[in-house]
A = this chain, B = another copy of it.
Amino acid sequence: MTQLQRRKIPDAAIARLPIYLQILNNLAATNVLRFSSDELAALAGVNAAKVRKDLSYLGSYGTRGVGYEVTYLIHQIKRELGLMREWNVVVVGAGNLGCALAKFDGFLSRGFPVVGIVDNDPKKIGRTTSSLTVGDVGDLKNIVRDEKVNIGVITTSSAAAQSAADALIDAGITSILNFAPVVLATPSSVSVRNVDLGVELQILSYYEQMRIESGSKVQSAPQLNSVGAR
């Protein structure tokens, strides 16, 4: 039961590491060599103690009185997050959003090349978007095998999302990023993260309304998303 599974890093800390990484990459690009927990905290908009605690989960890579080395920490965070390699992505659903994501260079630049895009609509299959041709969702299994896909992105309508998830899981995918506004039923061995743009706006509207009702004396929304299903 209690396997060692490396170190147990709290989920909340894991979710912050990518943000630190992004900031450190910026620092590296401007030739900054070192940083302190205070500096990173200011840039990330969090508490300095939290930064130190988060980084301490990676190991003791700082130097007291000095700080942390930018490039070394980048390396350690990438190692921890599994970013020493690329993870191939397939997009299911070739609508507006799916095509935009397939072209989106933010994926490739962060080590997540989109190697395929599929749809179930014969009118869309065969179209070319950037360097990819829309495939048939029925070929998902082959695509996953041949292109060594690790992550599936669902950008179908909500009606089609569950069968898209089923197809991905059937093809052996265990990590899914879901943009459809539905709660997917998946085995617990599969990781799902939901990005529901409507939900985000609705959360904003709650805090916006609070501000309006109480004469703007109200605190603002937490920047965290918490699509708290499952």
Name A's B-contacting residues (CB within 8 A).
Answer: 3, 5-6, 11-12, 14-19, 21-23, 26, 43-46, 80-83, 87, 89, 96-97, 99-101, 103-104, 106-107, 110, 112, 150-151, 174-177, 181-183, 185, 188-211, 213-214, 216-230
A22, A104, A203: most-surrounded residue (chain B CB, <10 A): A203
Q: Please tell me which one of the listed residues B14, B110, B182 contacts residue A206 in the complex, with CB atoms under 8 A apart.
A: B14
Query: From residue A182, how far is it (CB to closest CB) to chain B in Å?
Result: 7
Chain B residues near A227 (CB-CB < 8 A)? 15, 19, 223-225
Q: Determine if B151 and A175 form an interchain contact, defined as CB atoms under 8 angstroms apart.
A: no
Question: CA separation between A201 and B112, bound complex, in Å?
Answer: 8
Closest to A105 in B: B96
Q: Do B188 and A226 touch across chains, with their CB atoms under 8 A apart?
A: no
User: Once the chains bind, are A15 and B201 in contact (CB under 8 Å)?
Assistant: no
With A and B bound together, what is the CA distance between A21 and B80 in angstroms? 36
Q: Are B210 and A6 in contact (CB under 8 A)?
A: yes
Dominant secondary structure at the A interface: mixed
Residue of B nearest to A220 (CB): B191
Task: Point out the residues of chain B lying under 8 angstroms from A174, CB to CB.
Answer: 208, 211, 216, 220
Give the residue of B17, B81, B225 whose beta carbon is less than 8 angstroms from that of A225: B225
Chain B residues with Cβ under 8 A from A218's Cβ?
5
Question: Is the beta-carbon distance between B3 and A197 smaller than 8 angstroms?
Answer: no
Residues on B with beta carbons closer than 8 Å to the beta carbon of A224: 11, 224-228
CA distance A12 to B78 in the complex (A): 29
B81 lies within 8 A of A183 (CB): no
| A69→B139 CA distance, assembly (Å) | 43
Given known pairs A18-B198, A100-B97, A183-B23, the reply for A228 and B223 (CB within 8 Å) is yes
Residues of B near A83 (CB, < 8 A) are 202, 205
Picked from B12, B101, B192, B220, the residue with its CB within 8 Å of the CB of A189 is B220
Q: Is the CB of A22 within 8 A of B226?
A: no
Q: Is the CB of A22 within 8 A of B96?
A: no
Known: A100-B97, A100-B100, A223-B194. A45 touches B202 (CB 8 A): no
In the complex with contacts A182-B22, A228-B224, A110-B202 CB distance below 8 A: yes
